[in-house]
Structure 1
Amino acid sequence: MRTIYYKADERGHANHGWLDAWHSFSFAGFQNPEKIHFGALRVLNDDMIIGGRGFGMHPHDNMEIVTIPLSGDLEHADSMGNKGAIGKGEVQVMSAGTGIYHSERNKNIDRALRLLQIWVFPKLKDIQPRYDQKAFSIKGRKNQLQTIVSPLGSKDGGMGMNQDAWFSLTDLDQNKELTYTPKLSTNGVYAFVIEGEAEINGQLLGRRDALGISETDEILIKANTDSEILLIDVPMSF
């Protein structure tokens, strides 16, 4: 088993006033040669956007983009004609493929928006761009794993992604335990503690800490406090 411990306070940080962003991997002004990616996982940004502000239309291509609101509502529009908003319990997936433009902003004027935005390198390049969003039952992840993203064509219950990757969320009560098996022997798992404190394969992790785990067929998760945890199961070679 190989592990990499990612401490929350060692992430990149940029506070632009309207945007307070933490970068788990090299992004924009944060460049760290030891934190370029974990397998096919390229970006994990932990963003706070103040009321009414956001990103204007900007381009992406050949990247799988997953957005998970933690609180507040994200308003989205794109060059494919999609327009709407998502909040906590909902997840958005885009395959940028040959190229898209999109905008993102805090729908609400009176409260902050907090979200995770995650980029994964695609399995196939230059595919037709695609968009999906879905509401998941928050009760459906209570003391169990809830698959929110899975490979296109799979029957694992998640939204489709153009990569052999699976995203799972769990809300664990204090002292509860779970075991996770990577979906493919060539995959690794990036375990990110959104809230709480947990032990993952013996490593103590606090809020926003993460552990990259590869070359193992079992991951043991124990919640020391009530905890919210995201697992990102990705190819280590791509």
Structure 2
Amino acid sequence: MLQKLSADKHKQPYKGYFTVTRVQPGDIIDQQFHDTAFGPLSVIDHAVMKKGLTIKMHEHVNDEILSYVYKGTSNHKDSAGLEAPIFPGKIMMMNAGSSFWHEEKVDQEDVEMLQIFVRPRVADLEPRIQFHDKEVANREWYVMVGPEDSQAPLHVRNNVYILDAHPKKGDVLDIPVYPGLVPFFYVLDGEIEIGDLQLKKKEAITDLENLLPAITAIEDTSVVLFFVDMDAVMSMSGTISGNASNR
């Protein structure tokens, strides 16, 4: 059965120059013992950062973090001395492991982005950072992230895949199948139809038992699709991904 997560269910822990809509993907499931993560997929922060904002150097431990900029440019700096701009088509994976420090700065136009937090399989792995250049407006599915033994360009240290697509109005996209993994579908922008439901910006859908039907773009749309091992072993010690306030 299709289960929808409406935009009005999300919290906004930060507002102002740094506004975060915190999508807790586990809220889509009616759980007796509630974990607001969806397996190891813990948090999707849909953020807007205003021009002139600096988020000062801060530490993450045991978070796997995909930074996906939809609009604008966010300037990354870390404690290893690396500096790099992140913008549409330039994606970054921070595998925080035992400790990773970074800073974000917006010098030019406002930034809209996702920061996606995944729980690693175990705590205190080696910290590392990865970058990948991809097509900006791919109308078909593009695999951005996958487990370490996958062919995905960026690796996350758990059994999770992350794809994106940017269908134009009227496009129909079939949902791929990853055997043994459960889909979680998120609308970054625009509007789609799936089954007898419509999803708008910041809304999500899943089906825990069946394959998701094809989607139809009602307007030009950007979507992110996750495939998650709901039985994966995972560390609960992440700064954000394992925080007790998110469970």
TM bin (shorter chain): 0.7 to 0.9
Deviates more, 1:17-26 or 1:167-176: 17-26
Closer, same or farther in 2 for the Cα pair 1:130/1:222, shift >3 Å? same
User: Could you tell me how far 1:35 is from its partner in structure 2?
Assistant: 6.7
Asked if the contact 2:189/2:221 (under 8 Å) is kept, the reply is: yes
Partner of 1:6: 5
Q: Which amino acid aligns with 1:125?
A: A
Structure 1: segments with no counterpart, 5+ residues: 27-32
Q: CA deviation at 1:75?
A: 0.9
Secondary structure of the 1:172 match is coil
TM-score (structure 1 length as normaliser): 0.87
Matched, 1:151 2:150: no
* Residues 202/121 of structure 1: CA separation in 2 closer, same or farther (3 Å cut): farther
Mapped pair 1:214 → 2:208:
yes
Alpha-carbon separation, structure 2, partners of 1:123 and 1:215: 24
Counterpart check, 1:163 vs 2:143? no
- Separation in structure 2 between the aligned mates of residue 105 and residue 34 of structure 1, nearest angstrom: 35
Give the equivalent residue in structure 2 for 1:22. 21
Percentage identity across paired residues of the two chains: 23
The worse-fitting range, judged by mean Cα deviation, of 225-234 and 172-181 is 172-181
Provide the residue aligned with 1:135 in structure 2: 133
Shift, 1:218, TM fit: 4.6
Instruction: State the shift of 1:55 in Å.
Output: 1.4
Structure 2 residue ranges without an equivalent (≥5): 26-32, 233-247
Q: How many residues align?
A: 225
User: Which structure has the highest strand share of the two?
Assistant: 1
Name the structure 2 match of 1:231.
225
Q: What corresponds to 1:123 in structure 2? A: 121
Cα deviation 1:64-99 (Å, max 9, x = unaligned): 100101111111112233221111111110111111
What RMSD, in angstroms, separates the aligned Cα atoms of the two structures?
2.0
Task: Check 1:82–1:215 CA distance in 2 against 1; reply closer, same or farther (3 A cut).
Answer: farther
Cα offset, 1:182, TM superposition:
3.5
How far apart are the structure 2 equivalents of 1:114 and 1:217? Answer: 30
How far did residue 229 of structure 1 move? Answer: 0.8
Partners of 2:52 and 2:61 lie apart in 1 by: 26
Higher relative contact order (CA 8 A, sep 6+): 2
2:176 matched residue in structure 1 = 181
